[in-house]
Amino acid sequence: MNQDTITSFSTFTLQLPDWLPEYLINIPAHFSTIDQKMTFVTELARLNVKYRTGGPFAAAVFDSITNRLVAPGVNLVTTSHVSIAHAEIVALTLAQHAVGHHDLGAEGHSPHELVTSTEPCAMCLGAIPWSGIRTLICGARDEDARDIGFDEGTKPPNWVNTLHARGIVVTQDIHRHKAIQVLQDYAKDGGSIYNGRQSTP
C-alpha cells in the first residue's frame, strides 16, 4: 500500500470553529443554575447557525460540583466532513481530552453532566453510558428535530428509562422553546438537513 494513501487516513483533528473560543473569553467560568447552562448552550446552537459552521445543535459538559464548563460542543458534521461530529459527541470528546480520562465518572474525578440543546439521536444516546456522565439535561425533544427533517435514528421508545437504569439522571424540556426556535430558524434559512444517504435507502 502506498505511503500517500496511508497518510490520507492516519489522523483526523476535531476542532471547534474559530468563533467559539473567541466567544468563550467573555463568558463566566462558572454556571450556577440549569437555566444559565441551557441559555449558554442554546446560544451556542444559535451562533453555530449564524456563522454557518454546522447544524442547529449545541451541547456542553459541566463539572457538577464546581459548575465549571469543562468543554462545549457544536454540530460540525457538514464543516468537518465527519458524520459523528454531533454536538454531544464533540462536547464529550473534548471534555475527556481536557480531563485526560475516557470515563468522566471515574473514581477520583468530579461527577459530570451533559447539557444538550436537543435530545440525543441514537448514536449520541449510545455514547452517553460510555462517557461516564451522570446527568443529562435536554432542551428540545427529538420530535422537534424530526419536525424539520432530521432523522434521529432508532432509539428505544423508553430511552430515558434505559439511562435511569444505568444511574444517569435525565431532565427534559429545559428552555425547550428556545431550542425549537433555533431549529426552526435553521430550517427557514435553508440549512442543510444532512441525514445519511439523504434519507434515501
Mark 101-130 with x for binding to a second copy (rule: CB under 8 A) and - for no binding: xxx-xxx-------------xxxxxxx-xx
Mark 135-154 with x for binding to a second copy (rule: CB under 8 A) and - for no binding: ----------------x-xx
- The reply to whether 10 sits near a second copy by the rule CB under 8 A is yes
In the range 67-86, which residues lie near a second copy by CB under 8 A? Answer: 69-72, 77-78, 80-85
Amino acid letter, 193: I
Q: How far apart are CA 63 and CA 50, in angstroms?
A: 28
CB-nearer residue toward a second copy: 78 or 184: 78
| Annotated catalytic residue, options 88, 113, 119, 152 | 88
Annotated catalytic residue 88: yes
In the range 157-186, which residues lie near a second copy by CB under 8 A? Answer: 159, 162, 165-168
Cell of 163: 439511562
Q: How far apart are CA 117 and CA 88, in angstroms?
A: 9
Residues, the chain, total?
201
Q: How far apart are CA 175 and CA 168, in angstroms?
A: 21
Question: Helix, strand, or coil here: 107?
Answer: coil
CB of 99 to a second copy, least distance (A): 8
In the list 13, 32, 108, 143, the residue contacting a second copy (rule: CB under 8 A) is 13
Question: Helix, strand, or coil here: 73?
Answer: strand
Nearest to 132 by CA among 173, 100, 180: 100
Catalytic residues: 88
